[in-house]
């Protein structure tokens, strides 16, 4: 697969508009702004990074972070996700004796995976209403499920806080980039060529501040075409979704 660069888009735009290279910087500025706008909902740039976890269980956010896709264990050929946990304390605990930040909370519920608590529970070790054959007779209520592990994105700290047990390790972060960690060598899909060029035309026109101008309508139409071209859904996928919605059963 061959990809475009922002440099190619800007130089091609200059040639098509009959403009000298002196306008290259202006085209590059508007082109990078177009990537920022398209990265919000259409041309999503998803990056994956292996980030270190510090001594109090937090990871620093990448500079181009916009939104999180997930935080994962590195399982070799697969990634094991952990859920969000909005109840994590965003306030760091400062130890005046050691002059260091510490883990904000301690959790001990669940089984372990590489030294940290993971999915599962030790509740199955409890016996409740067992008959003489060792069979459970029911009426056991209140057993918890899920996991106490989790993470929370704390923008004011520019960090992701993890639950206790992840300190001084590494975790995989997948996130949506804001598209501003770009330069003229940034690689872009070919489908975005016309959308970026139409955005440059709009911002260079006298109607740059008006979203209902003819130039703006051209950009939004190209954006719709881009979104449809990036949609990977096909007839086979649609048929498979429909087939998976039906369940077979055994009949006498």
- Output 113 or 172, whichever has higher pLDDT: 172
Report the pLDDT averaged over residues 187-197.
90
Q: Which of 113, 27, 31 is nearest to 75 (CA)?
A: 113
- Which three-class secondary structure state does DSSP give residue 177? strand
Domain extents in the chain: 1-43+189-231, 46-177
| Residue-level pLDDT at 152 | 94
pLDDT the model gives residue 166: 86
User: Is residue 106 within 8 Å of 96, Cβ to Cβ?
Assistant: no
Select from 145, 172, 144 the least CA-distant residue to 62: 172
Q: How far is CA 153 from CA 81, 84, 88, 148, in A?
A: 15, 9, 10, 16
The model's pLDDT over 117-142, given as tens digits with 9 standing for 90+, comes to: 444 555 555 556 777 787 777 666 66
Q: Which residues pair with 48 in a beta bridge?
A: 174
Provide the strand spans (E) within 62-108.
65-74, 79-82, 93-95, 100-102
* Most confident of the following: 93-97, 106-110, 135-139: 93-97
Angle at 234 between CA 232 and CA 239, to 5 degrees: 135
Average pLDDT over residues 101-119: 50
Listed ranges 19-33, 54-68, 146-160; the one with the highest mean pLDDT: 19-33
Query: pLDDT grade, residue 250 (50/70/90)?
Result: low
With a pLDDT cut of 90, the percent of the chain lying above it is 39
35-46 average pLDDT score: 84
User: Which of the residue ranges 98-107, 222-231, 239-248 has the most confident prediction, judged by mean pLDDT?
Assistant: 222-231
215/206 Cα distance (integer angstroms) = 10
| Confidence band for 1, pLDDT divided at 50, 70 and 90 | low
More confident site: 28 or 111: 28
- Min mean pLDDT across 64-78, 94-108, 135-149, 214-228 is at 94-108
pLDDT confidence bin for 248, thresholds 50/70/90: confident
Which sign, positive or negative, has the C-alpha torsion 7, 10, 14, 19? negative
Residue 114: per-residue pLDDT: 42
pLDDT tens for 136-170 read 776 666 666 677 889 999 999 999 999 888 888 89
Q: How many CB atoms lie within 10 A of CB 11?
A: 16
């Amino acid at each position: 697969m061959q990809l475009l660069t922002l440099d190619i888009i800007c130089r091609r735009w200059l040639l098509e508009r009959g403009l000298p290279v002196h306008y290259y910087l202006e085209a590059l500025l508007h082109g990078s702004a177009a990537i920022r706008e398209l990265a919000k909902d259409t041309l999503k740039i998803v990056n994956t990074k292996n980030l270190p976890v510090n001594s109090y269980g937090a990871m620093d956010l990448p500079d181009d972070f916009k939104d999180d896709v997930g935080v994962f264990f590195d399982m070799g050929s697969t990634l094991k996700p952990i859920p969000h946990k909005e109840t994590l304390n965003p306030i760091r605990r400062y130890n005046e004796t050691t002059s260091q930040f510490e883990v904000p909370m301690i959790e001990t519920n669940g089984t372990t995976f590489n030294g940290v608590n993971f999915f599962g529970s030790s509740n199955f070790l409890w016996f409740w209403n067992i008959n003489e054959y060792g069979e459970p007779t029911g009426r056991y209520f209140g057993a918890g499920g899920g996991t106490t592990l989790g993470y929370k994105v704390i923008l004011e700290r520019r960090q992701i806080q993890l639950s206790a047990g992840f300190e001084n390790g590494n975790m995989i972060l997948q996130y949506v980039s804001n598209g501003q960690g770009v330069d003229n060598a940034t690689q872009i899909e070919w489908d975005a060529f016309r959308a970026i060029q139409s955005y440059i035309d709009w911002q260079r026109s006298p109607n740059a501040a008006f979203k209902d101008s003819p130039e703006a309508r051209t950009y939004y139409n190209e954006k719709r075409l881009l979104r449809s071209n990036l949609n990977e859904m096909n007839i086979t996928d649609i048929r498979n979704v429909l087939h998976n919605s039906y369940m077979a059963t055994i009949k006498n």
